[in-house]
Structure 1
Amino acid sequence: MSFVSGMVPETAVKVLRTYLLALTMFYGLAVVAELIEGGSGAAYRGEAIAVAASLVGLIVLGTRFDSAVRQSVAFALASTAVPITGLFHELPQAQVWVLVPSMLLAVYARTAYRTSVARLIALGISVLSLVCLVVAPAPVPALWLVLFPSCILASGEIFGGLHATLVRQALNDPLTGVRNRAGIEVDFAAMQSVVARRRGLLTVAVFDVDGFKQINDTRGHPAGDETLTAIADALSAALPKGASVGRLGGDEFVAVAVGPLSDHGQTFTRIAASLPTPASAGFAEAPADLAALDEMIAAADRDLYRSRRLRRAAESNRIE
């Protein structure tokens, strides 16, 4: 999960599956057309290799391994298969079959992976494409040795960067910078797919700011926004490694972590007590293979309201 930028895991798999299906179809047609015309298919040996690699990638995507693992293996197959097609081309114009798919790979990488990882991937694809141009029997203009890498890198930065920005905006809260509801659902699903195979547990914690309405009413909405941002920063800094924090709306935050409540309960309680503004907290846990985020949040909300009632009752008794 650390390599993925935030794209929904299953969406990333579906996009990659469509890409591999397209490669299989187009490269397969090229091989068939060459054979129908009476050729030996030698010039399209690379396309045959690409078809084989694409089919293996599709098989991998159809397995029940973790989404991130399936995605990484299939993407590695596609990233090496595409440049290899150019190794055997005898006609310069055939090298376009290398450039366009490589540009699409760079766009996908920039969208699906962290920026630093995506740039390394695009650089690797560019180098492989350049090597294929130099080694292939097809004579190409010297300018192409600059054009191909430039197009691949630029497509990743321009179009892939735009897609990555849209994904980030769709999954993150614009005020606090933490995940929004959709982003938490993505992170929850990613954790669930990993932990479910081990029959492990997931823990959800809900935090609700005490007296937030009074802050808005007495100090104004800018002060309320500052309070929410400070709480989001504090939660992000204090949560266990691998946990995800998001804002559900208003003054309610949620954290999701791998492991039982016994591992995280004290940590979450300490976090709630140390936030810049007093907050109540509620918790829930469930087996990863049976967990549903909505149900766990509802259970954590019930625990939060119960804890708040008990605390207020205790405070009232002390005053009396």
Structure 2
Amino acid sequence: MSIYNNILVVADINHDEQPALARAMQLASKSQSRSHITFFLSIYDFSYDMTSMLSIDERDAMRRGVIHQREQWMTKISEDYTNDSVDFEVKVVWHNRPYEAIIAQVFSGNHDIIIKGTRKHDVLESVIFTPTDWHLLRKSPTPVLLVKNQHWPENSSVLAAVHVASESEAHIGLNDRMVELLQDISTRLEAKPYLVNSYPVTPANITIELPEFDPTTYTDAVRAHHLMSMKALRQKHSMDEEQTVVGQGLPEDVIPEAVNDLNAAMVILGTTGRTGLSAVFIGNTAEHVIDKIDCDVLALKPEGFVSPLDPKTAV
């Protein structure tokens, strides 16, 4: 099954190197069907709209000139990445909010994934997520892949952080989509696929409040439940036991540890769907995990997620 063949790549305006475009080409070149990549940039200069000495037509002409310059630059720097095996186009728009422009392009172009580079700290080797990154993670209707490095490391792995103990239909469906995506991407990038899950530590206050409570028996039962649920998921998708990790602790501790132990170059995270005011957040667990890992991150929405920027729901 080919997944993600209509790819939207967000250009990094500050550098000629484009790790997001490099990753998109890697995925597209290994697709079972021909892929299309749109290399996208949103630009805005406040001064162009505040020049009262110019007419509206003159300001429009200036904006078109800036857009044309950026299109030429993007076409030139993309030459080192693209080839005839992938359909490719460059698109530049004038918009004062980059994340809104990106998501608007997702809807208008029917893109099925956004790929964007992240900033990497030179000293601590950590990834710094920009406000645009967070807006995309929270509000994009499609999966968002945030890329750290241009070059994919050898002998690396891809992890899917699944939530196997839940009986929620949303979680069950999201787990299946994550595993299918894991298998597709790990094949394309020639990486080893792994499933990772965590189970909670027994709360200390229970043993104090209930002297007859046996924490060891309780912990063993919880672990057994998670192991059986993980077994059911991996067997459903024809994966081996060696490709699974079930660790005790919080997800924001277990997942980063697995990233280090398994030389992970990408982590796939599911984000829970919410409604109302909380819909702008992707969930505390995902945000805490992202802050602690230094690799590519792919955030996947559950079925039925509605972006607050969906033009169909706009009043």
> Which one has more relative contact order, counting CA pairs under 8 Å at least 6 apart?
2
Q: Name the structure where helix makes up a greater proportion of residues.
A: 1
Which structure carries more strand by proportion?
2
Using structure 1 for the length normalisation, give the TM-score: 0.28
Structure having the higher Rg: 1
